[in-house]
Amino acid sequence: MASWLSSAAAFVSSLFSTSRQLNLNGVMGMNKRNGAYISRYNPRSKYPLVDDKLKTKIIAQQHGATVPILIGVIEHQAEVKRIHKLVQKWQSFVIKPARGSGGKGILVISAHNNGVYEKPSGQVITSKDVERHISNALAGLFSLGGKNDVAVIENLIKFDDVAFSGFSFEGVPDIRVIVFKGYPVMAMMRCSTAVSEGKANLHQGAVGVGLDLATGKAVRAVQFNQPITHHPDTGRLLSELVVPNWQALLELAASAWEMTGLGYMGTDMVLDKDEGPMVLELNARPGLTIQIANGEGLLPRLQNIERLATPIKYPEPAERVAYARQHFAAQPRL
Ligand SMILES: Nc1ncnc2c1ncn2[C@@H]1O[C@H](COP(=O)(O)OP(=O)(O)O)[C@@H](O)[C@H]1O
Ligand SMILES: [Mg+2]
């Protein structure tokens, strides 16, 4: 059993005391996700659109979505040294493998000067370290299937530090929304921590804050699959988190259906201080920890959408969001 599943199971069983209640609460496991949702609703031919971050950027832009600015792409080992010239005019940037996932191989640089590069923690690395990182990314060290990859260099997003002050430590928080047949069904905010090094991925040690789909307000929070109440580095009370621009964010997530044709998807978005909601990436095999962060299972919500009659004209993103906000509000807690 995957390690997250065993700890998830331990936590869920503490949450709902009997296995019967567990089923009733509709927590979805890996087999069900793969068999009943991913293989059924995600056509194989559409995977390349989301398995490559460069392709995702292009389709998102074609659909009028905003994305982080692309500074450049490094494709071959022989051009690794080009990085220093490429980023000359950019104060801060991110290097990521186009086919990476789970935050693997993402290097966040918050400042640089004369070949000295600084990470969000203040740790300094040399130009040789940066070149080595890119070289490893090109060799496929961090990427799907370990095949050769390309390195994407992106402008560092400046997140809304008023709304999110103290909720994320030295990194940009992202908002993950599970979108099923174009309907947002569950959401969480992922907040960076000292251990996650500027990345908001749960496997890197980020905090997952479940969000009420109706309001964008925090429901509960987890780190390493364990419930927590305060951010581990800043001490901020996580239940105070409210995501601004909620309607716009959900509409952007919902529109990923029109962008990709994938029926079951994890959309990762960020709220840029100046540009508003942006698409960071889309995932065809989103993780299941979002259920732990929300203290609710995905199945009842997915089945709700499956029961909807097929309309003659498919609802627009805004209508789908209205439906989700109405039907998938967080359950009141005791
Ligand atoms: N352009 C960026 N600016 C700031 N932070 C970023 C940027 N791109 C990625 N990150 C950080 O890294 C995390 C993972 O990035 P993402 O593109 O979703 O790749 P992965 O597939 O590895 O999850 C994000 O949640 C965010 O915290
Ligand atoms: Mg991601």
pLDDT tens across 171-181, in order? 999 999 999 99
This prediction has a pTM of 0.91
Ligand 1 close to Cβ of residue 101 (< 6 A): yes
* Interval 130-176: pLDDT, tens: 999 999 999 999 998 889 999 999 999 998 888 899 999 999 999 99
* Angle at alpha carbon of residue 170, lines to 96 and 190, rounded to 5°: 75
Asked whether residue 219 carries a pLDDT value surpassing 80, the answer given is: yes
Per-residue confidence (pLDDT) for residue 163, from 0 to 100: 86
* Interval 102-118: pLDDT, tens: 999 999 999 999 999 99
Structure-block tokens of residue 141: 């060290």
* Interval 273-317: pLDDT, tens: 999 999 999 999 999 999 999 999 999 999 999 999 888 899 999
Share of the chain above pLDDT 70, in %: 92
CA dihedral 35, 38, 42, 44 (to 10 degrees): -70
Of 317, 282, 269, nearest in space to 68 by CA = 269
Ligand 1 close to Cβ of residue 12 (< 6 A): no
The answer to whether residues 189 and 231 touch, using CB atoms and an 8 Å cutoff, is: no
Helices (H) and strands (E) in the chain, counts: 13, 14
Per-residue confidence (pLDDT) for residue 259, from 0 to 100: 96
C-alpha 201 to ligand 1 mean position (Å): 8
The answer to whether residues 99 and 55 touch, using CB atoms and an 8 Å cutoff, is: no
All structural domains of the chain, each given as residue ranges with its CATH number in brackets, are 3-65+160-327 (3.30.470.20), 70-155 (3.30.1490)
Per-residue confidence (pLDDT) for residue 287, from 0 to 100: 94
Ligand 1 atom closest to Cα of residue 283: 21
What is the total residue count of the chain? 334
Ligand 1 atom closest to Cα of residue 105: 22
Per-residue confidence (pLDDT) for residue 331, from 0 to 100: 78
- DSSP code per residue over 13-52: HHHSSSHHHHHHTT---HHHIIIIIIHHHS-GGGHHHHHS
Q: Where are the alpha helices (DSSP H) in the chain?
A: 3-15, 19-24, 30-32, 39-41, 47-51, 53-62, 83-86, 127-138, 246-254, 256-260, 290-294, 299-307, 317-327
The mean of the pLDDT values for the chain is 91
From edge to edge, which strands make up the β-sheet containing 124-126? Answer: 111-113, 116-118, 124-126
C-alpha 267 to ligand 2 mean position (Å): 8
Which secondary-structure segment (H or E) carries 305?
Answer: helix 299-307
Ligand 1 close to Cβ of residue 106 (< 6 A): yes
Per-residue confidence (pLDDT) for residue 9, from 0 to 100: 52
C-alpha 282 to ligand 1 mean position (Å): 11
Handedness of CA 119, 231, 30, 325 (dihedral sign): negative
Q: Which ligand is nearest to the CA of 197?
A: 1
Ligand 1 close to Cβ of residue 157 (< 6 A): yes
CA dihedral 32, 36, 42, 45 (to 10 degrees): 100
Rg of the chain on CA atoms, in Å: 20
Of 242, 240, 262, nearest in space to 181 by CA = 262
Averaged pLDDT for residues 246-250: 97
Ligand 1 atom closest to Cα of residue 104: 22
Asked whether residue 123 carries a pLDDT value surpassing 50, the answer given is: yes
Structure-block tokens of residue 323: 């439906």
Amino acid present at 290? I
- d(CA 73, CA 98) in angstroms, rounded, equals 9
Helix (H, G, I), strand (E, B) or coil at 57: helix
Q: Name the pLDDT band for 10 (thresholds 50, 70, 90).
A: low
* Interval 76-96: pLDDT, tens: 999 999 999 999 999 999 999
Per-residue confidence (pLDDT) for residue 16, from 0 to 100: 44
* Interval 323-334: pLDDT, tens: 999 999 997 664
- Give Cβ neighbours of residue 125 (< 8 Å, ≥ 6 apart): 116, 117, 118, 119
